[in-house]
Amino acid sequence: MLKRNVVLVGFMGTGKSTVASVLAERLGWSKIDLDAVIEAEEGTTIPQVFSEKGEPYFRKVETDTLKRELEGRTGQIVATGGGAVLAEVNRTIMLDNGLVVALTADVGTIINRVKDDPNRPLLRGNAEKSVPELLEKRKHAYDFAPVRIDTSDKTVEQIVEAIIERLSVE
Ligand code: S3P
């Protein structure tokens, strides 16, 4: 198995962080959660970064963090934020440094998973309205990933197995 990195991308609520933890444990690789790294470095939460410094600032920090955490490193499972795929520079960094796996889920599943979570500033506290709108805007945003897994009806174990299988043929 070629030991590089796995980069998990996908809309909010598709299970990136959970899958990253279990996959990292299974492979004995390290897990990097980009939003958690940003929160630790900024010393505050993602919603606070958005409200105090604005989304463009967050996006810049996101690119810097992605670059620093991925380039020249291997053996990591990197969970990205749902919007990290929007900048072309980010997509290039991901594709150049790992196997990019897009996790997807149907709209109802996503709403159920995120509706009680206050940590997603782009949903503005109204997941029922915001999720379908944002999903529509981003409907092709994850298509660049060579691997796609629909997580709606799968257990975390099944998703992890599918990724390991794919890694072993890389
Ligand atoms: C965002 C998704 C969030 C976080 C930020 C912006 C987005 O990450 O990076 O709130 O633009 O979709 P999750 O996908 O982990 O919720």
- 77: domain CATH number is 3.40.50.300
Question: Does residue 92 form part of some domain?
Answer: yes
169 lies in some domain: no
Q: Which domain holds residue 133?
A: 6-162
Q: How many domains does the chain have?
A: 1
Does residue 1 fall inside a structural domain?
no
Looking at the CA of residue 17, tell me the nearest atom of ligand 1: 15
**Residue 83: inside a domain, yes or no?**
yes
pTM: 0.96
User: Looking at the domain assignment, is residue 43 inside a domain?
Assistant: yes
Q: Which atom of ligand 1 is nearest to the CA of 12?
A: 14
Q: Which of 4, 2, 38, 12 is nearest to 105 (CA)?
A: 12
Q: What is the whole-number distance in angstroms between the Cα of residue 81 and the centre of ligand 1?
A: 4
Rounded average pLDDT over 105-123: 93
Please report the atom of ligand 1 found closest to the CA of residue 134. Answer: 12
Alpha-carbon distance of 41 to 142, in angstroms, equals 27
Mean pLDDT of the chain, nearest integer: 95
- Cβ–Cβ < 8 Å for 138, 9: no
Mutate to test the pocket of ligand 1, among 48, 51, 120 (most ligand atoms within 8 A of CB): 120
In tens, the pLDDT along 93-105 reads 999 999 999 999 9
Query: Is residue 116 domain-resident?
Result: yes
Domain assignment of residue 168, yes or no: no
Residue 167 lies in a domain: no
Q: What's residue 96's pLDDT?
A: 95
